[in-house]
Chain A
Amino acid sequence: MSVKIDTRKVGDVTVVDVSGRITLGEGSSALRDVLRDLTAQGNKKILLNLSEVSYIDSSGIGELVSGFTSVSNGGGTLKLLGLTKRVKDLLQITKLYTVFDVHEEEAHAIRSF
């Protein structure tokens, strides 16, 4: 399995549930397309749930960063939810962990917007 992405609304927050691998090719392009569409549709509060993401490569990191930047540039906010230890480690060694607003619990993340 490469990647599976579903979106749902919780109040005015759009939660994007991602599962699988975000790597160069199908995985990273699928995430890019979803975030681009959500931004184009005017969604300003986006919570990216990565709790079921088993693997991210540098291309996947690039998509997270690009998504964060494009949502911010559009006046919105993108936050992360449920990082696995490996994904958290990856964001820490790339010094991106503090760039993102990262949450462990969905309810807490929703309230933080």
Chain B
Amino acid sequence: MGTNVDTGAKELLDHKYPSTLESVDIAEAEILKAAEEAGFDEDEQHRIGMAVRECMVNAVVHGNRYNRNKQVHVIVALDSGRFTIRIIDQGEGFEVQEVPDPLHENNLLRHSGRGLFLMGAFMDDMKVRKVSPSGTEVTLVKNVAPRE
């Protein structure tokens, strides 16, 4: 994998991580390094880091269920001012619309279920789709502000 010259997209990271919590920390650190190089300030890096951590935890814990035989594929690219992170697990997948709204008053005091919401809150765009033969791909996008 390398730079995609057809679209002008610059690939910053393409790596497959084992399904461990250590991978969450490593992926977060590597993506934050890429975000810093892309020009995001400290606050934006923090938001990107939060979203990546939530997504990686979902992939490792809920998707791959810590299965050592499964990996989490992370691809980061910068394309037309869009810092795009794709995180793909090999789990059974899930229906986004079936995830309870964590802001609903009945769910406010639930122990879990805020990860997807936080990803969407911290990024400019988020897409979730099932992939074949099995797994979930989450695409997180943060727009790069024009330099002054």
B53, A95: Cβ atoms under 8 Å? no
Q: Which B residue sits closest to A96, measured CB to CB?
A: B108
Give the contacts of B1-46 with A (CB-CB under 8 A): 21, 24, 46
Bound together, the chains give a CA A69 to CA B108 distance in angstroms of: 11
A57, B50: Cβ atoms under 8 Å? yes
Query: Which of B24, B61, B110, B121 is within 8 Å of A93, CB to CB?
Result: B121
Asked if A19 lies at the interface with its beta carbon under 8 angstroms from chain B, I say no
If A62-B111, A94-B114 touch, does A57 touch B103 (CB 8 Å cutoff)?
Answer: no
> Per-position contact with A for B89-109: 1 when CB-CB < 8 Å, else 0?
000000000000011000011
Number of B interface residues in the complex (CB < 8 A): 20
B103, A95: Cβ atoms under 8 Å? yes
A57, B54: Cβ atoms under 8 Å? yes
A65, B46: Cβ atoms under 8 Å? no
Residues of chain B contacted by A65 (CB below 8 angstroms): 108-111
Bound together, the chains give a CA A30 to CA B121 distance in angstroms of: 27
A58, B114: Cβ atoms under 8 Å? yes
Bound together, the chains give a CA A72 to CA B108 distance in angstroms of: 15
Query: How many Å from the CB of A3 to the closest CB on chain B?
Result: 14
Bound together, the chains give a CA A58 to CA B122 distance in angstroms of: 13
B121, A24: Cβ atoms under 8 Å? no
> Per-position contact with A for B44-58: 1 when CB-CB < 8 Å, else 0?
001000100110010
Q: Which B residue sits closest to A54, measured CB to CB?
A: B46
If A61-B114, A62-B114, A94-B102 touch, does A24 touch B108 (CB 8 Å cutoff)?
Answer: no
Q: Enumerate 22 A-B pairs (CB-CB under 8 Å) in ascending A order.
A: A24-B21, A24-B57, A24-B61, A57-B53, A57-B54, A57-B57, A58-B54, A58-B57, A58-B112, A58-B114, A58-B115, A59-B57, A62-B110, A62-B112, A65-B108, A66-B111, A68-B109, A69-B109, A93-B118, A94-B117, A95-B103, A96-B108
Chain A residues with CB under 8 Å of chain B are 23-25, 57-59, 61-63, 65-66, 68-69, 86, 90, 93-96, 99
Chain B residues with CB under 8 Å of chain A are 21, 24, 46, 50, 53-54, 57, 61, 102-103, 108-112, 114-115, 117-118, 121
10 new A-B contacts at CB < 8 Å, known A57-B50, A94-B117:
A57-B53, A57-B54, A57-B57, A62-B112, A65-B111, A86-B46, A94-B102, A94-B103, A94-B114, A99-B108
